[in-house]
Structure 1
C-alpha cells in the first residue's frame, strides 16, 4: 500500500492531516498542519478520486468514474517501485 508524503511548501517539513470530512463519495476536504513547530503553517486541501485505474469487483452503481487514459496507467505502473509518493513537493 502506498502512502503520501505531504510536504510543507514553506519549510519543506512534514505535514499531517489533522481532520477531514467527506464532501462527496469521491471528494474529501482535509485540514493539514505542518509538524515543524517553528513553521506552524496550516492548510486546507481537497483529495478527489478522478479516474478509475481498473474496474472494481464490487461496483457501486452510484460511482461513475471515467477510465484512466493509458498515459496515466503507464505513469502509475512506473511509480509502483517507489516506496512513497511526494505530494506538494516542489
Structure 2
C-alpha cells in the first residue's frame, strides 16, 4: 500500500518522497508539515505498513547549499558547502561494471 500525496493533499506522481518508519523501515507518507523556521520543518508521518501503524514526527533541517542560487537573502544565513565536499555527478567510465547500489541516469 502506498499513499503518495503532494503538499495540499493532492495525489502525486511517481516521484513522491517518503521517509522510512524507524520501527519497521517501511515507507511512511507525510500527513502534514509545519514550517518552524526558514531552515527547519516538522513532518507528521504515518507508516504504510498496516501491521505497524506508527505515526510520528520527523524534523528536517537545512545543512548547507551546494550552489547558493540567484536570489540574494542577506537576512537568512545559509552556509555554503566547502568546495572540497561538493558532490559531482559524472557519467560512468566506458566499460565500467554497473553498480547495483546506484541509480543510473546514463544509457551505456
User: TM-score when scaled to structure 2?
Assistant: 0.60
User: What stretches of structure 1 move > 3 A for 4+ residues in a row?
Assistant: 2-5
The alpha-carbon deviation at position 3 of structure 1 amounts to 6.0
The alpha-carbon deviation at position 43 of structure 1 amounts to 1.3
Change (3 A) 1:72 1:15: farther
The alpha-carbon deviation at position 5 of structure 1 amounts to 3.9
- Kindly indicate which of the two structures has a greater share of residues assigned to strand: 1
**Runs (5+) with no aligned partner, structure 2:** 1-14, 90-101
Instruction: Kindly report the root-mean-square deviation, in angstroms, between the aligned alpha carbons of the 2 structures.
Output: 2.3
- Name which of 37, 48, 63 aligns with 1:35: 48
- Kindly indicate which of the two structures has a greater share of residues assigned to helix: 1
User: For 1:60, what is the secondary structure of its paired residue?
Assistant: coil
